[in-house]
Structure 1
Amino acid sequence: MLFGKLLPREGNFFELFDQHGQHIVEGSRAFLRMVENYANLTDRERLAAEVIDAEHAADKITAEVNRLLHTTFITPIDREQIHGLINAMDDILDLLQDTTETLSLYDVRRMTEETLSLSQLSARCCERVQHAVNLLPKLSQHTAVEAALKACEEIDQLESEADRVMRSAMSKLFREEQDVRELIKMKAVYEMLETVTDRCEDVANLIEGIVLENS
């Protein structure tokens, strides 16, 4: 009993979730701006660095959440939910960083309309993730519950749209691209960007479960 009293009863998990969500939005917006300004090498390199900085900042928050899980006696929601959510959120930025680095490693020199569309959808998904996460401490309010579930539904819709865009992009790529190397490069980029929305959907599914169990 004394041991339990000495341990913190509740860490600032919701605040850390929100901070992580803000970094996700920062990273996704930087990636989108990079795609929009890809022809400008200086802007491209600066914005790529912003994506990587956002991922590193989020990594620190993930580490802090996992540390708190070992030192907090009573958590605001189930420990497995906390662990699953923060790691699923971290996967989003990891993938954005991987995509950023792939563009450089593969020496991708031009952006397609499909790349821009997928980047826009990814950024919108990330904004919805941050919005849903921000509502978690307010689940005692019916309006917050409805708003969180709506955000999750919107993420699902955006993921479906990204899947449609990717299928169309792949079809166009294999029909029109004559350079095999370019085909391989862009195929990888399309798949990674669509997977960003998949990871956002994973987070939405976790948040939906948390909302339903704790409201």
Structure 2
Amino acid sequence: MFSVMPKDRSFFDHFEELGQCLEREATDLSQSMNLWPGSNGHVGQMEATRHEAHRVMRESLLRLDTAFITPFDREDILELASELYEVISVIATSARRMELYRLEEMHPSLRSHTTAIEVMARELAAALKHLRKDAKLTSLRPNLDEIGRQEEQARQARDRFLLELYSGQPDPLQVMKKREVHDLMLEAIYLLDNLGRTVERILLKND
């Protein structure tokens, strides 16, 4: 039956705000890495961005509880908003770990990971802006393909990192610290790749 009730389009605002938070978080991570071992306040800014993202995510969930007609299935809105906040939180945590552990030496793969996170965040934020326009999957294929390409490169960088990390007689404590930071960044990359597939699935369902 045709419905004259308008869809609640405020969710698109929430997605775009979360996309902006994600871009800021990724940029601050990259800039923090470039300035390391100093961070020039970027880690604190990232924590503030995480709090802002949490607020937007909660607003989206509260709206979901009261909205009568939504632009997508409710479970898809819940999944997308929750996944966006989760990756923002993981990125913030990785930067905080670097600061707490006072890592002075950064493996090249960590720097490549921050670049990958920044590129993936930018592509994902661009894709989110097109959701309100009833975009077709084909129009967002370049963004989603780039996200997948960055994830594949990160997998290869991880192999090189692990090979070098355990070579020789490394300090076990330093190994643990570097491994944890590396794993957090890689988790963020995997989450971003999964977000790309979530957007893809939502577009296919609503085509």
For residue 77 of structure 1, give the secondary structure of its aligned residue in structure 2: coil
Q: Equivalent residues in 2 for 1:69-84 (5 A)?
A: 69-84=64-79
Q: Which runs of 4+ in 1 moved over 3 A?
A: none
Could you tell me the TM-score, scaled by structure 1's length?
0.89
Amino acid at match of 2:19: G
Query: Residue deviations 1:114-159, cap 9 Å, x none?
Result: 21111111111111111111111122x55xx323233222211111
State the percentage of identical aligned residues. Answer: 19
Q: Which blocks of at least 5 consecutive residues in structure 2 are unaligned? A: none
Tell me, yes or no, if structure 1 residue 166 matches structure 2 residue 161. no
Residue of structure 2 aligned with 1:112, choices 96, 107, 121: 107
Q: Give yes or no for contact 1:28–1:123 (8 Å, CA) kept in 2.
A: yes
How far apart, CA to CA, are the structure 2 residues paired with 1:130 and 1:176? Answer: 42
Q: Give yes or no for contact 2:19–2:84 (8 Å, CA) kept in 1.
A: yes
Amino acid at match of 1:183: V
Tell me, yes or no, if structure 1 residue 149 matches structure 2 residue 147. no
How far apart, CA to CA, are the structure 1 residues paired with 2:113 and 2:168? Answer: 19
Amino acid at match of 2:172: V
Residue of structure 2 aligned with 1:207, choices 196, 199, 202: 199
Amino acid at match of 1:12: S
Residue 99 of structure 1: how far off its partner (Å): 0.7
Q: Which blocks of at least 5 consecutive residues in structure 1 are unaligned? A: none
Amino acid at match of 1:161: Q
Residue 107 of structure 1: how far off its partner (Å): 2.5
Q: Residue in 2 aligned with 1:131?
A: 126
Change over 3 Å in CA distance of 1:194–1:15 after alignment to 2:
same
Could you tell me the TM-score, scaled by structure 2's length?
0.92
How far apart, CA to CA, are the structure 1 residues paired with 2:81 and 2:197? Answer: 13
How far apart, CA to CA, are the structure 1 residues paired with 2:7 and 2:129? Answer: 21
Residue of structure 1 aligned with 2:60, choices 48, 65, 88: 65
How far apart, CA to CA, are the structure 2 residues paired with 1:122 and 1:174? Answer: 25
How far apart, CA to CA, are the structure 2 residues paired with 1:122 and 1:85? Answer: 18
Q: Residue in 2 aligned with 1:26?
A: 24
Query: Residue deviations 1:158-178, cap 9 Å, x none?
Result: 111111111111111111562
Change over 3 Å in CA distance of 1:176–1:18 after alignment to 2:
farther
For residue 41 of structure 2, give the secondary structure of its aligned residue in structure 1: helix
Number of residues of Structure 1 aligned to a counterpart in Structure 2: 204
Change over 3 Å in CA distance of 1:184–1:177 after alignment to 2:
farther
Query: Residue deviations 1:12-69, cap 9 Å, x none?
Result: 0011101110110000100110000013x3xx15011111111111111000000000
Q: Equivalent residues in 2 for 1:21-60 (5 A)?
A: 21-39=19-37, 41=38, 44-60=39-55
